[in-house]
């Protein structure tokens, strides 16, 4: 029997969850072909990119924040970067959705709680 996936803690669900080439006029009304050819990034992958590249956390700090192992952060980060690169290079739409995550509820008593932390927005 497979081991159950561990839920990753994320701050919130992203509001702008679809990105694409400028020639796509209405990114909110994608054709079936555009949806089929888009690249899907999980919310967990997005959160890893946000924490490491935007907030400048290390893999260890990111792992503590998300309540997962550092090796899981490394794999997730590598996967996310490959998807971003593929979207840029191949000119495909990048959609952010799904994944095994739980939203931080705040007031958890940890110094790095996403509702009272020093991580920039």
The pLDDT tens digits of the residues spanning 5-51 come to 666 666 666 666 667 666 565 556 666 666 677 899 998 899 899 89
Model confidence, pTM: 0.70
Tokens (6 digits) for 86: 């593929």
The pLDDT tens digits of the residues spanning 60-119 come to 999 988 888 999 999 999 999 999 999 989 888 888 887 766 666 655 545 444 544 444
Q: Does the 35-116 domain belong in CATH 1.10.10?
A: yes
């Amino acid at each position: 029997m497979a081991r159950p996936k561990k839920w990753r803690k994320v701050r919130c669900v992203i509001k702008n969850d679809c990105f694409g080439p400028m020639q796509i006029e209405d990114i909110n009304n994608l054709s079936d072909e555009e949806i089929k050819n888009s690249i899907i990034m999980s919310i967990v992958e997005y959160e890893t990119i946000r924490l490491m590249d935007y907030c400048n956390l290390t893999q260890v700090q990111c792992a503590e924040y998300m309540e997962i192992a550092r090796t899981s952060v490394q794999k997730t980060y590598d996967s996310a970067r490959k998807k971003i690169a593929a979207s840029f290079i191949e000119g495909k739409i990048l959609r952010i959705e799904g994944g095994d995550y739980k939203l931080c509820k705040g007031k958890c008593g940890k110094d790095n709680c996403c509702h009272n932390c020093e991580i920039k927005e």
